[in-house]
Amino acid sequence: MENQTTTLIDPKSGFCSKTKTYHSLRPHLQLPPLTSPLSTTEYTFSFLQHSPPPPQTTALLDVVTGHRISFPELVHFTENLASSLYNRFRLRKGDTAFIISPNSVHIPILYLSLFSLGVVISPSNPVASEPEILHQTNLSKPVIAFVTSQTAHKIPDTVKKTILLDSPEFESLITSQTREKVDGLERVGVYQSDPAAILYSSGTTGRVKGVLLTHRNFISMLASSIATRGVKNNKITSVTLCTVPYFHVYGFVYCLRLAAMGDTLASMGRFGLRAMLSAIQEYRVSDVALAPPVVVAMVRNFGVMDGYDLSSLQTVACGGAPLSKRVLEMFKERFPNGYGLTETTARIFATVGPKECEVTGATGKLISNFQAKIVDPETGESLPPSSPGELWVRGDTIMKGYIGDDKATAATLDSEGWLRTGDLCYIDKEGFLFFVDRIKELIKCKGYQVAPAELEHLLQSNPDIIEAAVIPYPDEEAGQVPVAFVVRQNGRLINESKIKDFIARQVAPYKRLQRVIFIESLPRNATGKVLRKELINLVLSNATSKL
């Protein structure tokens, strides 16, 4: 039966005409047996044991201070910290540790130490408000918090233990030799099915949810990353500058995959465009991981890159939110795009190699060991290539569920393991995924559905516009009408009338913009997603505004 199904799979798109399911055409990955005791830390370090980088190779680098940690030190410090947390702070398997800190060289060490103990990691945004932190700690119920002197005051009294990451005490936990080891961290007995992390959803369409990920999820993610990278030349060490926050799944996985690959992870606690460019030049950075707002800032201020030697830079990776086609075009040759969610432990579609990167607007092809469906949101019918519908995915990196929210889990995960992404997408005949819009963000106008992303792409194709966001506005006759917030290119004076005419010439009447509002910058969260609720509230609160 399996061979029969295989013969029905299209060799270009991976679509099976019988099951109406897309299958990954990338090589199948052999993962460790699910029942084998194995923590994410053990799996990460197993790659270093199998193919160790030269001992002097830098594992972690602070581009602000120049502080370096080698790979032998990374392993040693991880074991030291795990031992201290186990013996002095009595952390045990199943406990949850809350972390609220900017990026630093200490965070990857902390993650690996906690993973090795079976402690569940729950990182949060350091700029989150105290009520937001309270909601997150109510979900995760941590027994300890790792904070900085700038974030310590946000931790509620219900968390009894706190450790300052920017204190001499924490430094001593990492560097000092302890006589009490955890027997090589083996006696803890961490299994792949054990919970590993609680990461928080963006909350752009509702209240923040805690996404529960297992060690198996991270192990599968690492296996895919290593396979995508291919055979590594240990004489050449790549240096990746990660500007995205380590509390987000995008930055979180960089902490693990670069350690497993034997490459250098460069951190900067506070982002600055010129500081980033200076770091690329000084440390010969080969790869940089960015959030969309940074890419947009680079496009808006393209001249700022003049005078910096960026010749070492090979790839620019971007994730967290979709980018416009115009911005993509300016980075296409060095831009491996991807699609993923916190609920999928980061990317599940990826562009691999220069040829796949040439497909403008595509977010890549399905990664190894994954299946996908495109489902009609109205009928539930699975759709063939080039037909837009809701993307459903299934594979080893799918979350266990939402912590403390069985209703949301049941609405997102079905009994067969399919995760409903809530994203309107299509997969073309070559197997590339194209993102259309969030289903919840579709504008219902005169009985039709209008995708904000379609209008945003058109707006951003205008050379006078750098970025735009389209939102619904209530209308008695139409139900909803599209309204655009526009950021003009520096020095450009295009007006509302010209923008409306520009769009009207290219779309059906029901898609035409009813209003254009100019704004200096779009409100975004830490990973670059536009905060549409803020824009909607801005329009609705302006009582004098009339369409």
Give the per-residue pLDDT at 543.
Answer: 42
Give the per-residue pLDDT at 533.
Answer: 86
> What domains can be seen in the chain, in order of their start residue?
1-24+355-441 (2.30.38.10), 40-321 (3.40.50.12780), 445-541 (3.30.300.30)
Beta-carbon contacts of residue 1 (< 8 Å; ≥ 6 apart):
none
pLDDT tens for each residue of 463-501: 999 999 999 998 888 889 999 999 998 888 899 999 999
Q: Please give the Cα distance from 320 to 486 (Å, whole number).
A: 21
Give the per-residue pLDDT at 63.
Answer: 96
Give the per-residue pLDDT at 546.
Answer: 47
Give the per-residue pLDDT at 272.
Answer: 87
Sign, CA dihedral 50-51-56-58, equals negative
> Maximum Cα–Cα distance for the chain, whole Å?
75
Average pLDDT value for residue range 13-30? 95
Distance of CA 312 to CAs 102, 126, 141, 335, Å? 26, 31, 44, 15
Beta-carbon contacts of residue 457 (< 8 Å; ≥ 6 apart):
324, 325
pLDDT tens for each residue of 245-289: 999 998 999 999 999 999 999 999 888 889 999 999 999 999 999
Highest mean pLDDT among 88-102, 194-208, 315-329: 88-102
Q: Please give the Cα distance from 376 to 380 (Å, whole number).
A: 5
Contact 404, 210 (CB under 8 A): yes
